[in-house]
Structure 1
Amino acid sequence: MDALVIGGTRFIGRHTVAELLAHDYAVTVFNRGNHGNPFENDVEHIEGDRTDREDLARAAERNPDVIIDCVAYHPEEVRTAIELFDGSRYVVISSGAAYGAEEIPKRESETALHECTAEQATDDSWETYGPRKAEIDRVVSDAAADGAAATSVRPPVVYGPHDYTERFDYWLDRVRNHDRVVVPGDGDCLRHLVFVEDVARALRVVAEEGSSGAAYNVGDRRLPILSEWVELVADALDTEVEIVTANERELAVADLEPDDFPLYRSYPHVLDTNRLSALGWEATPIEDALAHTVEDHRASERTGRENGPDRGAEERVLAVLDTL
């Protein structure tokens, strides 16, 4: 089987290429070449801009069996890709942010998606990310109704090796370097996460077994709350940490809010993954996922510190809490 990965060298795409190679796919990567190729001679490379129709048409001349689209952020990009790769099985990465209704859990065929205006569809801000991904899913569904073999995969926040967002690295860095860590609220924030290798495997499984037009949630099998994640990280780092919870009033002494901490969410975000599991997909045990994540974090220069409060602000909160 031939597969073409749009993206393919940074985070989810990088792991997707590795997953496909491990399952005997001949892989070609299509991207702008702005990042080094970690696969050397194991994959072919087509340089181009996925937003340029002529570049994408050149990649489509390969007639791959499978397309994995890791860098689609606007609905029109997906319409163009599905049109040009007619005859291939197309899988695009959507997002759990596509859901517009706050339900527990969010189910693919039941939970309402965000609406997306014409202005939002071409915007690049974080505020329109969810609506744009929702519209991408509608493009996939409409294309499948016209006969295209198109599907989508919806992950929540993704963590693991090579995570350039560094959201999870913030907590790894805190636990690695400090014996006391502030966790916002009561530490009971519930936000579904997913290990990057599980996303890569989901993309392959959906390409092979998924139903055209369908969307598939992907997420860790277990759902630790934020304070439990910190404890799991401490175990993975073979260290101990004191978790100090702080409410809004206590955080305010350092001009902080709960939303200043990465992975915090005021309302639970949980995805139902039964549809994907029915295809034979399984999640990696969290302890194993964290072992790989910690190993990569130690070898990297990532700290994630820009994603959350600086240590000085955290220490001001700790000092006030110590007086109570």
Structure 2
Amino acid sequence: MTAHALVVGGTRFIGRHTVEEFLEAGYDVTVFNRGNHENPFADRQGVDRVEGDRTNDADLRRAALDVDPDVVVDCVAYYPRDVHTATDIFEDVDAYVYISSGAAYGAETIPKREDETALEECSADEAIDDSYETYGKRKAEGDRAVFEAAGRGVNAMAVRPPVVYGPHDYTERFDYWIDRVDTHDRIVVPGDGTNLWHLVYVKDVASALRTVAEEGTPGEAYNVGDDHAPVLDEWVDLLADACDTDVETVHASARELGAVDVEPGDFPIYRHYPHLLDTTKLRSLGWESTPHEEALAVTVADHRDSDRTGREEGPDRETEERLMSVLETVE
């Protein structure tokens, strides 16, 4: 009998690739969502859809009864309550996998390890807040809900990705850098280009979710990230290779950026303190990441075929050119 995976979400970015991952592995798949976004699997054999709101307990319970899944992947659990409800409704499945986040870590260590690095604390008020500032806290509390559920016998696990890049990335954070490299021969890179923010290719997140569903241990969390974590300058070089172009990087300190009212953190995937996840635990299950050359070739091709530019995600080109002019004058 073919195993059945229910993907809560499933039509935009991580969820879309997760559906593909389980399909390719021979599963039947059902997506559960409100239908606010175009369904790329509308005519796809092996994929069904149940409409409903995951914050409506009755809708989620109805989906559980109608689908009777073996595996549940929860792509859109943004509040601890979502995880508590889902692990109650799906308490008898073979695997419930919650997509957490590297932002759940509350301590700045290098690298961050699942069983050693402290998680963010989350107050009752923060657990229901919808601001960006509480995102990591809410994800951490969702992890604790997974641990609690596993303690009462639910086969619940968590996967923690950092910033995700790849085809269909609606956040456009990585598209900002692709657009800059693909369009211009000189670009500004904040700082000295050595800032480190661990990223992960979206298809590797999807394969990690399936690996954990099939091989993971209930009550455990698993980091996922690229095998190699390039610094920002190296990302620019890798993208230049993928775009088959050359680009000159112009480094600008926080003080220099201030001349045009820009801060280093205004650039996407800039982080003052290194963010690196240890993925040893996931690798022990047999998971492997995709080489950058392959991942970026697909990512750049998708970017070029899309209408995404990422230009709203960082300093505009006019500001960038003004800054380079200022720096040339100083020199």
Tell me the equivalent position of 2:62: 58
Aligned partner letter, 2:19? V
> Helix, strand or coil for the counterpart of 1:143?
helix
Q: Distance in 1 between matches of 2:292 and 2:100?
A: 23
Tell me the equivalent position of 1:229: 235
- Is 1:86 aligned with 2:60? no
Could you give the per-residue CA deviations for residues 169-208 of structure 1, whole angstroms, max 9, x where no partner exists? 0000011111001000000010100000000000000000
Tell me the equivalent position of 1:73: 78
> Helix, strand or coil for the counterpart of 1:188?
coil
> Helix, strand or coil for the counterpart of 1:152?
strand
Q: Distance in 2 between matches of 1:105 and 1:253?
A: 34
Percentage of identical aligned residues: 66
Structure 1 unaligned residues grouped into runs of 5+: none
Q: Distance in 2 between matches of 1:17 and 1:284?
A: 18
Tell me the equivalent position of 1:49: 53
| Residue from 120, 124, 130 that aligns with 2:126 | 120
Aligned partner letter, 1:155? P
Aligned partner letter, 2:131? S
> Helix, strand or coil for the counterpart of 1:194?
strand
Q: Distance in 2 between matches of 1:93 and 1:75?
A: 12
Q: Distance in 2 between matches of 1:308 and 1:28?
A: 36
| Residue from 137, 142, 165 that aligns with 2:143 | 137
Structure 2 unaligned residues grouped into runs of 5+: none
| Residue from 22, 25, 28 that aligns with 2:24 | 22
Shift of 1:300: 0.2
Tell me the equivalent position of 1:157: 163
Q: Distance in 2 between matches of 1:251 and 1:315?
A: 12
Tell me the equivalent position of 2:9: 7
Aligned partner letter, 1:24? G
Tell me the equivalent position of 2:188: 182
Task: Say whether the 8 Å CA contact 1:159–1:195 is kept in structure 2.
Answer: yes
> Helix, strand or coil for the counterpart of 2:44?
helix
Task: Say whether the 8 Å CA contact 1:108–1:215 is kept in structure 2.
Answer: yes
Shift of 1:41: 3.1
Q: Distance in 1 between matches of 2:322 and 2:259?
A: 7
Paired residues for 1:212-251 under 5 Å: 212-251=218-257
> Helix, strand or coil for the counterpart of 1:254?
coil
- Is 1:209 aligned with 2:212? no
TM-score (norm 2): 0.97
Could you give the per-residue CA deviations for residues 89-144 of structure 1, whole angstroms, max 9, x where no partner exists? 10010000000000000000000000000000001100000000000000000110
Count the aligned residue pairs.
324
Task: Say whether the 8 Å CA contact 1:189–1:264 is kept in structure 2.
Answer: yes
> Helix, strand or coil for the counterpart of 2:20?
helix
